[in-house]
Amino acid sequence: MRKLLAEAIGTFWLVFGGCGSAVIAAGFPDVGIGLLGVSLAFGLTVLTMAVAIGHISGCHLNPAVTVGLAASGRFPAKDVVGYIVAQCLGGLAGAGMLYLIARGTPGFSIAGGFASNGYGLHSPGGYSLSACFIAEVVLTAFFLFVIHGATDKQSGTMIAPIAIGLCLTLIHLISIPVTNTSVNPARSLATAFFAGGAAVQQLWLFWVAPIIGGIIGGLLYKCIDNAEE
Are the C-beta atoms of residues 124 and 38 closer than 8 Å to each other?
Answer: no
Q: In whole numbers, what is the pLDDT of the chain averaged over residues?
A: 94
Task: With a cut of 70, say whether residue 196 has pLDDT above it.
Answer: yes
Instruction: Identify the DSSP state of 227.
Output: S
- Chain length of the chain: 229
**73-86 residue pLDDT tens:** 999 999 999 999 99
Task: With a cut of 70, say whether residue 229 has pLDDT above it.
Answer: no
Average pLDDT over residues 32-39: 93
Cβ-proximal residues to 197 (8 Å cutoff; 6+ apart), any chain: none
What beta strand segments (E) does the chain contain? none
Whole-number pLDDT of residue 142: 97
Task: With a cut of 60, say whether residue 2 has pLDDT above it.
Answer: yes
Q: List the domains of the chain with CATH numbers.
A: 2-106+120-224 (1.20.1080.10)
Whole-number pLDDT of residue 19: 96
- Cα→Cα distances 184→5, 33, 44, 204, Å: 18, 22, 15, 12
* pTM for the structure as a whole: 0.94
Short-list 91, 181, 102, 94, CA closest to 143:
181
| Distance between CA atoms of residues 182 and 139, nearest Å | 10
